[in-house]
Structures are given as structure tokens and as C-alpha cells.
């Protein structure tokens, strides 16, 4: 059985994490498959937007702890390579030119919460929960913290990673972690409809919008204005008639 299912719905590519018996926990194979699939979607001219969700009752339980038992200090090369792969996966979303909608169908914990927030826009089932329980296991919500602090205020972000308590969908929406909360049976329809709306946008305009959005997040105000000016000048070349 494939760790990751791929389905094209017109210009929308749906990626479904497919380890339902493991609550879609991120082992090495699924992590690599996700990274490869996202790069493939970016390279495919027929794909204009992406939806990421999970099979079964969970979105993603985070790291596969059974596999992580092998990542011990005496196997430094394995520890380093896995951390590098995880970093690449969580970092790729903002570098894609195509928008990614995450459809959070169930529990999104740790690395799973990181994936939920890594997308450009997130829809969450009303029955789902999201959290960073790493501290309760004596570890740190490390790589996922970069996206978390860019999606929510400092006080809320610190509480999430320091207390390790999950939040329900209503609270996640209030905090700005997700865009919308839907009934579970309407989640995929809503996510795909939104992805189709993005797919219909003039492609160069969408790519430039996403590029500028993530660029200005980390720039001082004056530099952000200058980046906006440069895009403003460039967009005349790809403007639709």
C-alpha cells in the first residue's frame, strides 16, 4: 500500500497521507514521499493548486515514534539525515509557486500540526484537534516552531509549545491557526472548492503573489515596500488582457 495517495481533480492535485492504522504518522517513507510529491506537483504544468489531507480518522499524528527509537546519539548520521529531511519538508510549502490547502480531517499533532500550518490556507473539521505535545514527551517542538510563530501571536504560540495541550477547531480558528472550520463531511468538498478557486487565478499572478507574501513576512517595512514596488513593476509584463 502506498504511503501517499495522489489524485488529480482537474487542476487540483489531492495528496492523501495513507497510513491510517498509524494515524498517518510521519515515518521516513511518508516524509520523503510528501517532499517528492510536492516537488512533482510544482513541476507539473497541469497542476495549479494542491490539497493535503489524511486518510482515516486522523490528519497526522506527527513523527512515527517507533521509527524514532532508532535515532539514537550513537547513530548521528541517521539523526542528522532525518532532521534534514524533516526541515526540507516543512520548508518546501512556502517555496512552491502553487497554493496549498490543508484539509485537517482529524487530529494534527506535533509534526502533523506543523504540516497543517505549513500550507497557505487551512480548513479544519469541527471534530479535529491540533497541538504540539512534544514537551510532554521530554522533547521540543523544534522544526515545526518556525511555521507556528509565523502563524499565531507570541503568547499563544508559546502556550501551545510549552504546555503541550491541544486546541479544538473553534479555538484554532480563533487563534488564526486555521482559516475555516467545517462539518467533517463537508471538509474535502470545501477544501477542493477553495483549491479550484485558486487554480482559476492567472498563474503568474498567483505565483508572484505567493512569492511576495512569504518574502515580506521576514523583511523590515521599508524593504517590504521595495519588494512590493518591484513586483508592481514586473506584473505589467504578465497582466492578462
134 classed as catalytic = yes
Mean pLDDT for 66-83 is 71
Is 171 exposed, middle or buried (CB count within 10 Å of its CB: 0-12, 13-18, 19+)? middle
- pLDDT digits 0-9 by tens, 162-186: 999 999 999 999 999 999 999 999 9
Q: Is the pLDDT confidence value at 76 over 80?
A: no
Tell me, what's the pLDDT at 145?
95
What single-letter DSSP state applies at residue 178?
Answer: S
**Cell numbers at 225, concatenated:** 515596500
Map 104-132 to HEC letters. Answer: ECCCEECHHHHHHHHCCEEEEECCCEEEC
What are the structural domain ranges in the chain? 4-198, 202-238
- pLDDT digits 0-9 by tens, 203-238: 999 999 999 999 998 899 999 999 999 988 887 766
- Give yes or no for a contact between 30 and 19, defined as CB atoms under 8 angstroms apart: yes
Q: pTM of the prediction?
A: 0.93
Q: Is the pLDDT confidence value at 241 over 50?
A: no
- pLDDT digits 0-9 by tens, 20-51: 999 999 999 999 999 999 999 999 999 999 99
Task: Please tell me the class of the 4-198 domain.
Answer: alpha beta
Map 128-149 to HEC letters. Answer: CEEECHHHHHCCCCCCCHHHHC
Tell me, what's the pLDDT at 233?
85
Q: Is the pLDDT confidence value at 138 over 60?
A: yes
Catalytic residue chosen out of the listed positions 45, 134, 159, 226: 134
Average per-residue pLDDT in the chain? Answer: 93
Mean pLDDT for 92-107 is 98
Encode 205-215: b = buried (16+ Cβ within 10 Å), e = exposed: ebbbbbbbeeb
Amino acid at each position: 500500500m502506498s504511503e501517499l495517495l495522489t489524485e488529480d481533480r482537474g487542476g487540483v492535485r489531492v495528496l492523501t497521507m495513507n497510513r491510517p492504522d498509524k494515524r498517518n504518522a510521519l515515518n521516513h517513507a511518508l516524509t520523503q514521499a510528501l517532499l517528492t510529491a510536492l516537488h512533482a506537483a510544482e513541476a507539473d504544468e497541469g497542476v495549479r493548486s494542491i490539497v493535503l489531507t489524511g486518510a482515516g480518522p486522523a490528519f497526522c499524528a506527527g513523527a512515527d515514534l517507533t521509527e524514532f527509537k532508532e535515532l539514537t546519539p550513537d547513530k548521528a548520521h541517521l539523526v542528522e539525515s532525518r532532521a534534514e529531511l524533516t526541515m526540507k519538508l516543512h520548508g518546501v510549502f512556502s517555496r512552491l509557486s502553487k497554493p496549498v490547502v490543508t484539509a485537517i480531517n482529524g487530529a494534527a499533532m506535533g509534526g502533523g500540526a506543523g504540516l497543517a500550518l505549513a500550507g497557505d490556507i487551512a480548513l479544519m473539521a469541527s471534530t479535529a484537534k491540533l497541538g504540539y505535545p512534544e514537551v510532554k514527551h521530554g522533547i521540543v517542538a523544534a522544526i515545526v516552531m518556525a511555521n507556528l510563530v509565523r502563524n499565531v501571536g507570541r503568547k499563544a504560540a508559546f502556550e501551545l509549545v510549552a504546555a503541550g495541550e491541544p486546541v479544538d477547531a473553534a479555538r484554532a480558528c480563533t487563534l488564526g491557526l486555521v482559516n475555516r472550520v467545517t462539518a467533517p463531511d463537508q471538509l474535502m468538498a470545501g477544501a477542493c472548492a477553495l483549491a479550484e478557486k485558486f487554480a482559476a487565478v492567472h498563474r503568474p499572478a498567483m505565483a508572484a503573489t505567493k512569492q511576495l507574501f512569504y518574502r515580506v513576512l521576514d523583511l523590515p517595512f521599508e524593504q517590504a515596500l521595495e519588494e512590493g514596488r518591484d513586483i508592481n513593476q514586473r506584473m505589467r509584463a504578465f497582466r492578462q488582457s
